[in-house]
Amino acid sequence: MTAEAPSTTPAKKPAGRRRVEFDPRLAAYKGVWVFIEHEHNRVHPVSWELLGEGRKLADRIGVELAGVVMGEPGAATRDFCSEAFHYGADLCYLVEDPVLAQYRNDPYTSSLTALVREYQPEILLLGATTLGRDLAGSVATTLGTGLTADCTGLNIDMENRSLAATRPTFGGSLLCTIQTLNYRPQMATVRPRVMQMPERNTDRTGRIVEQRIALAEADIMTKVLQFIPDANQEQARLEYADIIVAGGRGLKRPENFQLVWDLASVLHAEVGATRPVVQAGWVSAERQVGQTGKTVRPKLYIAAGISGAIQHRVGMEGADVIIAINEDPAAPIFDFATYGIVGNAMQIMPALTEAFRQHLATAKLAG
């Protein structure tokens, strides 16, 4: 808490574009941090995904990877540190305080800001969740540093040892790479499912650095009166589903979307959709896949009547296998799908449903 935020004043006038030499005063900032987000005793998987990515970045610049765990005092909070080690962290900064029991902007911002000032990481990553984005914006402003939101790729620009954060721009039609050259830490938020989940290795351990932060409930103006868990957990299910059947405007009419549900039910899969379909009210907004919807990473993604516009593609191209059904042989989705069937979805989908059904039935018999 002592360091006099040197990051608020630029060490050198930013030259505006590119070629900026690495300023030696920034060398004091070392290490890659990942904020471990948890609510109601569950760590958001995006935190583990970020540890996986953070590991690569840390190795690249030869520094340690740290998790930041904040929460109420107790074994549960400490367990999150061990988990962080399993997913690749070398150490964890731990702040335990009763006021951190539930997420609130104020105490979380002051705790994280204090940690940063004390231990000076060069990179700080958070999940682009409602919690992560709330916190990241406040922390970055307090520290007066740069923050790149909703990134889809992270890299190190070795020329000036800086984080090159890539994210969609211009309505998702293009990507841009953003750098924070003369300010530290360099902050970024990354969406769930954009990065790959790392292997969990229970042999891995690390050290815990505890930090006390004087916070009194009386000083915190915002109170949590209640938490109402979502009745339908569709949202989480879609992002982490292993099989997804999705439909687009090519299905023409809301009734035809039933074909997607039919196949999904045979495969016990989740249902996804494109934005126009969501906007037309055929399915709920939680099912939208893409830039302004969810990013998914299933093993199998079946796309029926979907053109494969870039804004949809960015949300699903991480799938292992993509099967596309589209009438138009020139539809962009065939440029990146694994298998393509050129044909009328209204005929192909029932046939596919039937083929899967039979396959599963015979497989069962045989097994």
Partner 1 sequence: MHIIVCIKQVPDSAQIRVHPVTNTIMRQGVPAIVNPYDLYALEEALRLKDRYGGRVTVLCMGPSQAEAALRKALSFGADEAILVSDRAFAGSDTLATSYALAAAIRQIQKDMAVDLVFSGKQTIDGDTAQVGPGIARRLGLQLLTYVSKIEGIDVEKKEIVVHRRAEGGAQILKTRLPCLVTILEGVNEMRFATMGDMFRAARYPLKVWDKDAAGIEDIEKVGLKGSPTVVAKVFAPQPRAQKAERIETQTGAPADLAVTLLAKLFTRYPHIEREIRKQAG
Ligand X SMILES: Cc1cc2nc3c(=O)[nH]c(=O)nc-3n(C[C@H](O)[C@H](O)[C@H](O)COP(=O)(O)OP(=O)(O)OC[C@H]3O[C@@H](n4cnc5c(N)ncnc54)[C@H](O)[C@@H]3O)c2cc1C
**What is the contact mask toward partner 1 in residues 114 to 133, using x (rule: CB under 8 A)?**
---------------xxx-x
SS3 171: helix
Does 309 bind ligand X (CB under 6 A)? Our answer is: yes
State phi, psi for 244 to the nearest 5 degrees: -130, 130
Angle at the Cα of 330 from the Cα atoms of 167 and 266, rounded to 5 degrees: 80
Q: Which of 72, 80, 125 lies closest to 100, judged by CA?
A: 72
Q: Which does 180 bind (CB under 5 to 8 A by kind): partner 1, ligand X, none?
A: partner 1
Does 192 bind ligand X (CB under 6 A)? Our answer is: no
Minimal distance, residue 38 CB to ligand X, in Å: 27
- Report the residue from 47, 48, 69, 109 that binds partner 1 according to the rule CB under 8 A: 109
Minimal distance, residue 230 CB to partner 1, in Å: 5
Does 340 bind ligand X (CB under 6 A)? Our answer is: no
Site for ligand X in 199-228 (CB under 6 A): none
Of 21 and 320, which has the nearer Cβ to partner 1? 320
Q: Which does 130 bind (CB under 5 to 8 A by kind): partner 1, ligand X, none?
A: partner 1
Of 112-120, 260-268, 307-315, 359-367, the window that binds ligand X (rule: CB under 6 A) is 307-315
Q: How far is the C-alpha of 262 from the C-alpha of 366, rounded, in Å?
A: 24
Does 295 bind ligand X (CB under 6 A)? Our answer is: no
DSSP label at residue 289: B
Q: How far is the C-alpha of 333 from the C-alpha of 313, rounded, in Å?
A: 8
Which amino acid, one-letter code, is at 155?
N
Q: Which does 293 bind (CB under 5 to 8 A by kind): ligand X, partner 1, none?
A: ligand X
Q: Which two tokens stand for residue 102?
A: 């539930």
Does 305 bind ligand X (CB under 6 A)? Our answer is: yes
**What is the contact mask toward partner 1 in residues 236 to 275, using x (rule: CB under 8 A)?**
x-----xx-----------------------xxx------
Q: Could you give the dihedral angle defined by the CA atoms of residues 111, 115, 116 and 121, in that order, rounded to the nearest 10 degrees?
A: -140
**What is the contact mask toward partner 1 in residues 303 to 342, using x (rule: CB under 8 A)?**
-------x--xx--x--xxxxx--------xxxxxxxxxx
Does 345 bind ligand X (CB under 6 A)? Our answer is: yes
Of 184 and 294, which has the nearer Cβ to ligand X? 294
Does 355 bind partner 1 (CB under 8 A)? Our answer is: yes
- Report the residue from 229, 255, 330, 365 that binds partner 1 according to the rule CB under 8 A: 229
How many residues belong to the site for partner 1 (CB under 8 A)? Answer: 106
SS3 338: coil
Contact 114, 176 (CB under 8 A): no
DSSP label at residue 294: B
Q: Which two tokens stand for residue 14?
A: 């930013």
Contact 215, 72 (CB under 8 A): no
- Report the residue from 75, 214, 218, 228 that binds partner 1 according to the rule CB under 8 A: 228
Angle at the Cα of 32 from the Cα atoms of 290 and 22, rounded to 5 degrees: 100
Minimal distance, residue 249 CB to ligand X, in Å: 3
By CB atoms closer than 10 A (0-12, 13-18, 19+), residue 197 is middle
Does 182 bind partner 1 (CB under 8 A)? Our answer is: yes
Does 291 bind ligand X (CB under 6 A)? Our answer is: yes
Could you give the C-alpha distances from 364 to 92, 125, 164, 236, 360, in angstroms and in order? 47, 46, 50, 30, 6
- Report the residue from 78, 276, 318, 357 that binds ligand X according to the rule CB under 6 A: 276
Does 300 bind partner 1 (CB under 8 A)? Our answer is: yes
Of 14 and 171, which has the nearer Cβ to ligand X? 171
Contact 349, 257 (CB under 8 A): no
Helix 45-61 to helix 75-86 angle, to the nearest 10 degrees?
Answer: 50
